[in-house]
Chains A and B, each alone.
Chain A
Amino acid sequence: MLDARGLSCPMPVVMVQKAVKSGSPDTLEVLLDAECSVENVTRYARNQGYTVTAEKDGEDTKLTLKK
């Protein structure tokens, strides 16, 4: 799981981009704690052909990206 909590824009998307480019995984989980990062990662992932589901856990959001 990628832990992108506390990272400012655009680092969470950069982390996901690196993971996607380094092996195009079928499933990827990302942990985030800022709503704008959730939006940015979701938009990027959808543009890369992933479906995205979000799961709230207190202050954190876990995004699951699936091809």
Chain B
Amino acid sequence: MTKKINWLVLVTGLLTGAAAILLTAFGNPANMGFCIACFLRDIAGAVKLHSAPVVQYLRPEIIGLVLGSTIMAVATGEFKARAGSSPATRFILGGFVMIGALVFLGCPLRMVIRMGGGDLNAFVGLAGFFLGILIGIFFLKRGFSLKRSYEVAKSEAAALPGIMIALLVLLIAVPSIFIFSESGPGSKHAPLLISLAAALVIGGVAQKSRMCMVGGLRDAVMFRDFNLLSGFAVLFVTVLLGNIILGKFSGFSTYLQPIAHASQLWNLLGMVLVGWGSVLLGGCPLRQLILAGEGSGDSAVTVLGMIVGAAIAHNWGTAGSAASLTDGVYSAGGVGTHGKVAVIIGFAVLLIISVINIQRSKKEVK
């Protein structure tokens, strides 16, 4: 059993890395074959929850990941309607995970993809992510829990997959109701069918292999279990080799990396917020999409929280701005005051949630 699951995780890492390279080659932004945070942010923009003109597009990758998970879960009898594990708290956590990710400019998955693209800023992000995971583990070991989920009506399980199907139908039938960026990252995308097909495959294998960026480091630290981390490593190597083969790799540097900034303290702290929040949620943003696809109402609420968090990030200007070179003038990019305050507020909120949800040693014994 162990060997089989290891193999699946490795294949998932390999396929996800290959798909990321493929999607970038077909038009997705550089080092952004996949980015759950960025793509949910683009969807928030496409439906006018925010109006940042450069990050608005209805990313089919999100639809594909959720529905790929649903199809796989239904096919293997794992589609289960579950909810009730502190949904409002999960909504808030999802929002702050998104705010942290958009300060760094990427979810944990894009962090690894950026690392494979030679972006040294993402290695700083990894250090922050790891630190955040350690903080989360500190509270897990002291009894943190968002309590149990329970069996609920099938309609709860169908909510997020249903929303995704509706978005797909609308995207094909009446795309004019959405806003699509004409410049910037939102304007760069692979053709719809390629994005959708690649994401359906990744959604399916990620459901089966349980691939999770936060789970990899968490399980390695807590249980000396390197199963999920191995997928993380294969993903990095695949993306790195893919970039080298396609001639897109030009060494490791912090300078002028695509859709990234070199404000290292905030790269670090943004990802501390992501790591900590994701441990409390039980999985990274990718994993939340996959769990929502297999019927978790709690993860569906988390995804909605992330979408709202993305809208807030752009409406209130908390997202980081990327480094740029305009007319020979280099800007390192970075994070404004609003972003810094939002991250600090995020730490305070996570601390309160972490402490309040420590369950006193009530025996879980029947």
Contacts and interface: CB of A to CB of B under 8 A. Distances in A.
Given A43-B2, A43-B5, A10 B215 contact: yes
A17 interface: yes
Interface in A18-67: 31, 33-36, 39-40, 42-44, 46-47, 59
Contact of A10 (B82, B140, B151): B140
A5 B148 contact: yes
Interface stretch (B63-71, B96-104, B164-172, B219-227): B219-227
B148 A9 contact: no
Interface residues of A, number: 28
A33 B68 CA distance: 22
A59 B225 CA distance: 26
A35 to B, nearest CB: 5
Contacts of B1: 39, 42-43
A3 B364 contact: yes
Contact of A13 (B82, B148, B223): B223
Contacts of B149: 6-8
Given A9-B282, A43-B227, A46-B2, 7 more contacts: A1-B366, A6-B84, A6-B149, A8-B282, A11-B145, A13-B222, A13-B223
A10 B210 contact: no
Given A6-B150, A9-B215, A10-B222, A1 B365 contact: yes
B298 interface: yes
B365 A2 contact: yes
Nearest to A12: B364
Contacts of A15: 364
Given A14-B140, A14-B222, A47-B225, A6 B283 contact: no
Interface of A: 1-11, 13-15, 17, 31, 33-36, 39-40, 42-44, 46-47, 59
B300 to A, nearest CB: 14
B146 interface: yes
Nearest to B359: A11
Contacts of B224: 47
Interface string B143-158: 0011111110000000
The 3 closest A-B pairs by CB, nearest first: A6-B148, A8-B282, A6-B149
Contact of B364 (A4, A10, A13, A34): A4
Contacts of A8: 85, 146, 149, 281-283, 298
Contacts of A34: 80, 82
Contacts of A11: 140, 145, 282
Contacts of B2: 43, 46
Interface in B149-202: 149-151
Given A8-B298, A47-B225, A39 B5 contact: yes
B282 A6 contact: no
A3 B366 contact: yes
Interface in B219-261: 219, 222-225, 227
A3 B1 CA distance: 23
Interface in B275-326: 281-283, 298
A47 B223 contact: yes
B210 A36 contact: yes
Nearest to B210: A36
A22 to B, nearest CB: 11
B145 A59 contact: no
Residue among A10, A34, A59 with the highest chain B CB neighbour number at 10 A: A10
Contacts of A6: 82, 84-85, 148-150
Contact of A35 (B78, B223, B366): B78
Given A2-B364, A6-B148, A8-B146, A43 B85 contact: no
